[in-house]
Structure 1
Amino acid sequence: MVRRAPSVVPWWSRWWVRVLAVYAASRVLTTILLLILAGVQGANPWTAAHPSYFDFASIWDGRWYNIVSIAGYPSTLPTLDGHVTENAWAFMPVYPGVVNALQFVTGMSWPVAAVLLSVAFGAGAALLFYRLLVRVKLSPSTSLFAVVLFCVSPVSPLFQLAYAESMYIFLLTAALLLLVERRYAWLFPVVLVMAFTRPSGLAFALALAFHVVYRWVVRRRDAFPVRDRVLSVSLAVFSGFAGLAWPAIAGLVTGDLTAYTDSELAWRAPYIGYTHLVPFASWFQGADWWFTFMLQLPAWLGIVTLLVVVALFVVAQFTPAVRRLGVDLRFWVAAYSVYLLAVFFPSRARSGC
């Protein structure tokens, strides 16, 4: 009997090569778009008119991260007429810290180091996103198509800006993959770093709470060992404390218990004035602003539109296509949606929290 040699898979057909090829092609497209925008960018507080690519890619929030990397955080909150104004406390420390480390090793300037770091984390996020979808039993072709959408979505240029989003999405995707695989112990450091990269700890804690309750309910057909119970519950509590840690640090350093939320709210003040953070009020305030100020339409129409959109979103979570993602990814979508409804303000600029 003649044995056949095992077939060798060509390197260009390996899953990671295809994912990286999609990511690279999408970066060409988004780079062209950003260069076009940079070409028409006028003079602003961050750059002169028509800035270079790296200067354009590191303005706005990128400059705030740069400020954090150079000067850290103020011990006294800046105010105007008694109200806290925009300041560095709204930007978490992990991303600028890693950029600083890259600068130290390579000698790169801030804009170059920050942008290249974001590009690298974006590539890592695309790879993990594909593995996550395959892990929840989507076909390789469907998973690759999802990667294409992931890489060319309207917000995908963020993968090559000096923003923390690339790093955060990389960490989030890693966390979701570990959650699906029930590797709770490995999640502790990921959750901690993630919570100091972008606001996420409270939302992930809620997703973990959903996960724990579900595993308890179905424990007769899907074993829920004592070790998993202890680790998963501990992880949910840990994630909640991690989500509260940065606001607590801001309060301790500045002596103002609401330093972090007041700093975040400063970005929405140009739209609705200075307000306190009232959970679940932001979207109604945003709907009122968009419909009355921007569209010149009755305020009640904005409220009705918002409620209809939320209802349609909830219904969509139970459609067959979404159910194929599995319970854990749907728990995250539900938890993060609740978090966004609680604190996010939908505006044309940075919305905070």
Structure 2
Amino acid sequence: MHRFPGVTKVDPVSTSSVPRPEPTAPAGPLRRPRLPRPAAGATREFLPALALFAGLRLAGILTVILTNELRGHPLVRNLAHSWDSRWYLHIATHGYGRLIWIAPTGAVQTDWAFFPLYPALIRALATVLPLGPGQTGLLIAWTAACVAAYGVYRVGHLLYGRGVATALVALWAALPHAVELTLAYTESLFAALAAWSLYCVLRGRWLWAGTLAVLAGLSRPSGFAVAVAVCLAAGHEALRRRGRVPARLWAGALLAPLGWPAYVLWVGGRTGDLLGGYFSVQRAWDSRFDFGAGSVRFLKALLLHGGGVVYPAALLIVAASVLLFVLLCLERAPLALVVFSGVLVLLVLGGSGSFSSKPRFLLPAFPLLVPVARALARTWWLRRSRAVVVYGALALVSLLAGAYVTAVAHSPL
């Protein structure tokens, strides 16, 4: 007789006994299949990617400084005092409600439009370090950029391996608008929080994912994109496991969206309109979701009147992001990555405001680069010389574009 697991052996000529299954332990809750853990050397393997990222962004800073020298401008001032940076530094020094600006349209623009995490970090560190607010802001931005690069690498390494992870970091460092990772802006901080929150989702560390999503929601108006990604990924996981999920999943999902509405309600309380005050503040900055009407007006004006260099380049970057999002969906990337990137792309397409700033809003959407990184990693060993030439050209464009928008152009960053 054949021996079957879990069934008692029975004499085939005996009729006095009936095969009975052996007693088994009660079925427990379904366990989530975990992604493979990163190799023990994943951190050490990141060092070449970090060196590439830091080297390229340092070259970007030096290119900006050289451009300032050639134009007779202060060498480093525009790194810490460009556009929105001045508002963040003023908030860090004096608090909220101390600065307004009357726009040419007559709108009264206030500092309540700027989220609190970055200026709070500047204020906290400036009290313990012998640095001014501008220097502290740059220190935070540069540190956060490296932390973000490591988070981008860990996401890529977890899903696709070392080659794709390194290519992903390299491409992110060479984006035309990557200079904004090294300015006193919130993009590097937001990118760091987003990357590590998404990594925690992929690893099933829901409490960490939710906590980082809260901080992301306090860092930028678009920070709720992380919370949406965490919540939808948690809901998908609960459906997949038919509700048999640990309590920490629900706790992380409930925690994730608390940051953004907390600040929105705080601004509403300060303005006297709890639910609408924050949105009134943003409308004064011409920042609202108008379902693409502003983008259509911009495109029409660009076609009729032209727009120098910055605005056509911004349009090209936005169009490329839409194509990359389609490719990301075709790659069947994890839901959290697709949702996070999709929300940011949707906000850029459907939001009003200066079109020259839209590439900056897309900078944290690193998953958009996954399809290109995978293609680059596949062809690297076969056509190494071509890959080096292509990447060198991307890096050169990134350096020149960063210096131009920071030290030459007068368009809002």
TM range (shorter): 0.7 to 0.9
The residue number in structure 2 matching 1:19 is: 49
Please say if residues 251 and 259 of structure 1, whose CA atoms lie closer than 8 Å, have aligned partners that are also in contact: yes
Gaps of 5+ in 2: 1-40, 306-315, 362-413
Output the CA distance in 2 between the equivalents of 1:145 and 1:51: 35
The residue number in structure 2 matching 1:288 is: 297
Cα drift, residue 26 of structure 1: 0.8
Residue type at the aligned position of 2:124: A
Cα drift, residue 22 of structure 1: 0.9
Output the CA distance in 2 between the equivalents of 1:21 and 1:151: 11
The residue number in structure 1 matching 2:30 is: none
Q: 1:256 is matched with which residue: 255, 269, 273?
A: 273
Q: 1:159 is matched with which residue: 151, 160, 181?
A: 181
The residue number in structure 2 matching 1:273 is: none
Please say if residues 129 and 147 of structure 1, whose CA atoms lie closer than 8 Å, have aligned partners that are also in contact: yes
Larger RCO: 1 or 2 (CA < 8 Å, sep 6+): 2
Output the CA distance in 1 between the equivalents of 2:70 and 2:285: 25
Please say if residues 118 and 161 of structure 1, whose CA atoms lie closer than 8 Å, have aligned partners that are also in contact: yes
Alignment map for 1:1-353 (pairs within 5 Å): 14-39=44-69, 50-74=73-97, 84-136=107-159, 138-219=160-241, 225-227=244-246, 230-257=247-274, 258-268=276-286, 277=288, 279-281=289-291, 283-291=292-300, 293-296=301-304, 315-319=326-330, 322-323=331-332, 325-343=333-351, 345=353, 347-349=355-357
What do residues 103-135 of structure 1 show as CA deviations (whole Å, max 9, x unaligned)?
Answer: 222221122221122111111111111011111
Residue type at the aligned position of 1:29: A
Output the CA distance in 2 between the equivalents of 1:36 and 1:314: 35
Residues 1:201 and 1:158: Cα distance change in structure 2 (over 3 Å): closer
What do residues 19-75 of structure 1 show as CA deviations (whole Å, max 9, x unaligned)?
Answer: 22112211232113322443466xxxxxxx712214443221110001101221118
Gaps of 5+ in 1: 1-10, 42-48, 270-276, 298-304
Residues 1:81 and 1:171: Cα distance change in structure 2 (over 3 Å): closer
- Identical positions, percent: 22
What do residues 229-254 of structure 1 show as CA deviations (whole Å, max 9, x unaligned)?
Answer: x4434433433343212111011012
Please say if residues 195 and 243 of structure 1, whose CA atoms lie closer than 8 Å, have aligned partners that are also in contact: yes
Output the CA distance in 1 between the equivalents of 2:186 and 2:229: 22
Residue type at the aligned position of 2:268: G
What do residues 249-275 of structure 1 show as CA deviations (whole Å, max 9, x unaligned)?
Answer: 011012134332233233338xxxxxx
Report the count of equivalent residues.
Answer: 311
Residue type at the aligned position of 1:130: Y
Please say if residues 118 and 164 of structure 1, whose CA atoms lie closer than 8 Å, have aligned partners that are also in contact: yes
Please say if residues 122 and 137 of structure 2, whose CA atoms lie closer than 8 Å, have aligned partners that are also in contact: yes
Residues 1:135 and 1:265: Cα distance change in structure 2 (over 3 Å): same
Cα drift, residue 197 of structure 1: 1.0
Please say if residues 267 and 352 of structure 1, whose CA atoms lie closer than 8 Å, have aligned partners that are also in contact: no
Please say if residues 92 and 198 of structure 1, whose CA atoms lie closer than 8 Å, have aligned partners that are also in contact: yes
TM-score by length of 2: 0.65
What do residues 272-318 of structure 1 show as CA deviations (whole Å, max 9, x unaligned)?
Answer: xxxxx4x442x222221232x23218xxxxxxx9xx98985664343
